[in-house]
Structure 1
Amino acid sequence: MKNRIVRFVAGSFILISLLLSIYVNQNWLWFTAFVGANLLQSSISKWCLMDTILAKLGVKD
């Protein structure tokens, strides 16, 4: 369950920031890059902040 939530949140952040960069300001692309960098970092280190947050909220694997 946690894995699906993490993917949903990451995908939503990317799509929302892309829409904000089109309609509001291009600087929102930095947020897209930040999310992508975190996804890359979590694939290398096998640690994800969102996973930790969800665990503290009581979401089960």
Structure 2
Amino acid sequence: MTVNRMVSIMAGFMVLLSLVLAQITGQIDLFHPTWLWLTAFVGLNLFQMGFTGFCPAAKVFKAMGLKEATNACGTSSSGKGCC
């Protein structure tokens, strides 16, 4: 487990927890279609990406030609280290 994956898991969990707590306390009603479902979708994507490593947004951005971040050695952050 990497720091980046754990951050995604924690962020997704907190987003989902905030929605659940708001539903329980009556501040929102998730049973009616609203923009809050977009928040739930983002939270679920963050949470699952932390475990699986699959991110739909990353696939789209790669298809658009964006490059992955590189480390100080110039290799991909997902590749094996060169230093």
What TM-score does the superposition give when structure 1 sets the normalisation length? 0.51
Hey, which of these two has a bigger chunk of helix by percent? Answer: 1
Mind listing any 5+ residue stretches in structure 1 that lack a counterpart? 50-54
Stretches (4+) displaced over 6 A: none
State which of 20, 24, 29 in structure 2 corresponds to 1:26: 29
- Residues 8 and 47 in structure 2, CA contact (< 8 A), matched pair in contact too: no
Structure of greater Rg: 2
**Alignment coverage as a number of residue pairs:** 51
Percentage identity across aligned positions?
A: 18
Mind listing any 5+ residue stretches in structure 2 that lack a counterpart? 58-67, 70-76, 79-83
Query: Could you tell me how far 1:22 is from its partner in structure 2?
Result: 1.5
CA RMSD of aligned residues (A): 3.8
State which of 12, 19, 24 in structure 2 corresponds to 1:10: 12
Q: Which amino acid aligns with 2:18?
A: I
